[in-house]
Amino acid sequence: MATNRFQYALVDGNNFYVSCERVFNPHLEGRPIVVLSNNDGCAVARSDEAKALGIPMGAPHFQIRDLLKQHGGLALSSNYALYSDMSRRMMSVIAEYSPEHEVYSIDESFLRFTGFQHWNLTEQGIRVRRQVRQWTGIPVGVGIGPTKTLAKLANRLAKRHPDFKAMGVCNLQDLEPWHQIAYFTDMDVQDVWGVGPRWAAKLHEMGIHSAQDLKLADPETLRKRFNVVLERTIRELNGTPCIPLEEAPQPKQQIVSSRSFGQLLTDKRDLMEAVSTYAARAAAKLRKGGQAAGGIQVFLSTNSFRPDDPQYHPSTLINFTTPSDDTARLIGAALKGVNKIFKPAYRYKKAGVMLVDLVSNTARQGDLFGTTTEPQLERRGRLLGVLDTLNVQMGCGTLRFAAEGTAQAWRMRRDTLTPGYTTDWEGLMVAKC
């Protein structure tokens, strides 16, 4: 492989949520552990032992409960407050290794090395891995290559291939060309970043089975049969960077807040409470990003896993005359939406809101026909600021609007939630002598 000016490293946590739990509870080591999605629905993270039992990603909890029990395993409710905090700690360690750093997801980040030609990046990979482990307790894998797609691919080898697993680092630069071809030929095309199940099936039909096949495919032809995204993937596999490093988070284009309910709902008041809560949560996210929404979409849904039940999946969009970040206004619009689409006699499983047409709060258009004056907006902003601060400091939902309800019969299930070890004074560990 020719030496590029840049090299990318992808550092990501192994079985991240499970690893976060294990940091604080050593009894979880060596056992099949899964972390469940919201509402304790299905497995979203699995320990190696759980994977070895054949538990697939997304397996419904009720289908794997017995298997886990038989093997001394455990299913935990997800503790996102804990995982976000652990993520922040992990990222701050990783960021020390290059001035060019992108946080790609809760457990993954890219580093770019520019002008590090004389460094041994494999050594750097080993160091970052050791340091993250030592400082946060999280095991990570490191993949290094001349593009993001290749770094992802190398990371997969680092975590899964016996040749690299012990070291936990795979640097494509270290491999002889024939050796690289062997690894690429060994990898199914669906395991390439950017190729999902649909495209993989179509590619297999065309005789493109492995990462190596895709690398050698004609980008122009595949662009016509698929789209420009796949063309970029092919070019990236060949060492041409097409996907930029995004060091600053991009402003959001939409904000979604939705949840399945702990039980099926039929009462309109329950739905109104739930939707109000989601609208409030979305509004808080909106203000955190310094944005305002031009509209809000509300949706309800029955349980589509029960095809014999009457199905109903309505949605409606309410546009504002001027963009807003005011919880009260968003809740008001959301409730209007519920009124519009709610029909009795259905059993609802899920509801949500989506904020759309987001604009930066600094560049907001004034309300030509509105009655709200600047000082009123100003006071309103201060009030919402206090609400946000309190909810961050004292916990989400400490201060809320009456429309969100108090009993909240529809709240999600979290039967096996672990303590907020690093995010809640009550969850702090106690050392006993």
Partner DNA sequence: TCTGGGGTCCTAGGACCC
Residues that bind DNA (CB under 7 A): 37-39, 41-42, 44, 58, 60-62, 104-108, 152, 193-200, 223, 227-229, 250, 252-260, 264, 285, 303, 305-306, 349-350, 352, 412
Contact 142, 128 (CB under 8 A): yes
* Residue 146: φ, ψ to 5°: -80, -5
- Write down the least CB distance from residue 285 to DNA, Å: 6
Q: How far apart are CA 386 and CA 379, in angstroms?
A: 11
- Write down the least CB distance from residue 380 to DNA, Å: 23
Residue 4 or 87 having the CB closest to DNA? 87
- Write down the least CB distance from residue 353 to DNA, Å: 9
- Write down the least CB distance from residue 234 to DNA, Å: 14
Residue 254 or 360 having the CB closest to DNA? 254
Q: How far apart are CA 58 and CA 141, in angstroms?
A: 22
Residue type, 122: T
Residue 227 or 321 having the CB closest to DNA? 227
Helix axes 327-341, 268-288, angle to 10 degrees: 140
- Write down the least CB distance from residue 75 to DNA, Å: 12
- Write down the least CB distance from residue 133 to DNA, Å: 19
Contact 72, 28 (CB under 8 A): no
Residue 170 or 376 having the CB closest to DNA? 170
Residue 105 or 266 having the CB closest to DNA? 105
Residues in contact with 50: Cβ distance below 8 Å, sequence separation at least 6, in sequence order: 18, 32, 33, 34, 43, 68, 73
Q: How far apart are CA 274 and CA 266, in angstroms?
A: 12
Residue 65 or 336 having the CB closest to DNA? 65
- Write down the least CB distance from residue 432 to DNA, Å: 36
Q: How far apart are CA 109 and CA 93, in angstroms?
A: 11
Burial letters 392-417, b for 16+ CB under 10 A, else e: eeeeeeeebeebbbeeeebbbbbeee
Residue 58 or 290 having the CB closest to DNA? 58
Could you tell me the maximum CA-CA distance found in the chain, to the nearest angstrom? Answer: 72
- Write down the least CB distance from residue 313 to DNA, Å: 11
Residue 359 or 377 having the CB closest to DNA? 359
Name the E strands within 195-347: 255-265, 291-302, 315-324
Partners of 352 in the beta sheet?
Answer: 258, 299
Tokens of 400: 């809320």
First to last CA, the chain: 57
Partners of 100 in the beta sheet?
Answer: 112
